[in-house]
Chains A and B, each alone.
Chain A
């Protein structure tokens, strides 16, 4: 009890010395128990290493951290920077030579996270600049959940589809994580493109998105060219069209959902007009008001 403790604190030296001794003894005992535990744990670990993983253990392995450790080993800033740099130059097939082609999961997670932010921000900025100044602009927070579901969904599904198709057509030396990794690095070019697309000029947006589509598809195709040529040969066009098709669909979705509003009313002018004194209309989509 606390009253007991305070009584002990104020007591005479012999009792205090005894108390100190009791404390030290207790400490030793607990140390012993803990170190015994440590030894027990070590023995258990060694025994577990010798056993084969059971079916249950193989099932819940993806939920442990240790399962993902191999994908983050030996990652340095330099390696990531090299991979990012390589993704902007699709004509050189050097991606699998960086770090001996080891797949990393750092890239996918953070590239898609950055992309979610970039797309949501750029979409809202372009919407803000495109609305006429007499209309109040409401920030569209729904872009963020939509963008994350879209991007983190394609992060897994499209590489899975590519992997399955290539495996079925005879590809070898393929791992699912490596396809996920390279697909994510292929999307890096969309980040600067989003920054450019925050200007609501339709020609600029279409041009930038077409560049992104060509860059990412080429990056994937050129890097897989060796694999395609050697093992798949005749049917490689299926894979090529699959990759290009997925990129086209993705970028059309971007344009039609996030960067939809490029309309300006030529009479009152949008906020963008007031910045640049240029008037545009986009004939592709709706919202074409003409006041005479």
Chain B
């Protein structure tokens, strides 16, 4: 697998080939000392910037596979390539809370169900893609699938605040649009790493996953 021989080193990762790394500027220990010393706002803002940068990929869905490959390989020099799980965590919490607030009876069931579906679902889809021969790292895929839940979050928040003004069909349209947006966002990423003949079977689970999550939004 491609993950095995990577060594975190300074500001990036390399795969056993010579790649020019700014060794003089910082090494692992110095980075840790710096992040401990800096003000809390700096740390928070850096993480938030990272999350927003990745969200920009979701908001403008990249339909072409070449761009999907670019997303997979994207890294900024001060980030580690494996992808963060902060974004998906925040989005899943937001979604679960939004949907839980609105339902009177079974809010704990909803919260638990959404959490499990989102994290368990991402894990199962990633394992599925890996077993079918896709070349992707586990956390990167979980990260992308988590970030692409953002449109469904937007739909849930919209429906929560405009509940009394929206009839059933308008809700259906909003949730449908969010679902299509989410699916297309993650489509280019996932399909760029599978063979032609296995594309449908690796994309269908993603479709089911977002359908499951969007279905909750219609009925809050």
Residues of A within 8 A of B (CB): 1-2, 5, 8-9, 19, 22-23, 26-28, 30-31, 34-35, 37-38, 41, 65, 68-69, 71-72, 75-78, 80, 106, 109-110, 113-114, 117, 121, 124, 138-142, 144-145
Contact = CB atoms under 8 A, between A and B. Distances in A.
B3 interface: no
Given A31-B16, A145-B109, A22 B208 contact: no
**A-B complex: 4 closest residue pairs judged by Cβ atoms:** A72-B131, A76-B197, A77-B200, A139-B219
A114 B212 CA distance: 9
Given A23-B22, A23-B24, A34-B5, A75 B211 contact: no
B200 to A, nearest CB: 4
A69 B131 contact: yes
Contacts of B30: 1-2
Contacts of A35: 16
Contacts of A26: 23
B18 A142 contact: no
A145 B109 CA distance: 9
A139 B103 contact: yes
Contact of A23 (B17, B23, B110, B128): B23
A137 to B, nearest CB: 9
B66 interface: no
Given A138-B105, A145-B109, 19 more contacts: A1-B30, A2-B34, A19-B24, A23-B20, A23-B21, A27-B23, A30-B7, A30-B9, A31-B17, A65-B130, A65-B131, A76-B198, A77-B198, A106-B201, A109-B124, A110-B208, A113-B208, A141-B103, A141-B109
A22 B16 contact: no
A117 B215 contact: yes
Contacts of A31: 16-18
Interface residues of B, number: 43
B55 interface: no
A34 B132 CA distance: 29
B128 A144 contact: no
Contacts of A75: 132, 198, 201
A217 to B, nearest CB: 26
B121 to A, nearest CB: 9
A127 B176 CA distance: 22
12 contacts: A5-B26, A23-B21, A23-B24, A34-B7, A75-B132, A77-B201, A109-B128, A138-B104, A138-B105, A141-B103, A141-B109, A144-B109
Contact of A141 (B110, B211, B212): B110
Interface in B174-216: 197-201, 204-205, 208, 211-212, 215
B197 A77 contact: yes
A34 B6 CA distance: 9
A80 B204 CA distance: 12
A5 B24 contact: yes
B85 interface: no
Nearest to B205: A110
Contact of A114 (B22, B105, B201, B208): B208
A117 B103 CA distance: 19
B164 interface: no
Contacts of B5: 34, 37-38
Contacts of A80: 201
Contact of B197 (A68, A78, A117): A78
Contacts of B9: 30
Contacts of B18: 27-28, 31
Nearest to B220: A139
B32 interface: no
B106 interface: yes
B25 interface: yes
B134 to A, nearest CB: 11
Nearest to A120: B215
B101 interface: no
Given A121-B215, A124-B219, A141-B113, A72 B132 contact: yes
Given A2-B34, A38-B5, A80-B201, A65 B127 contact: yes
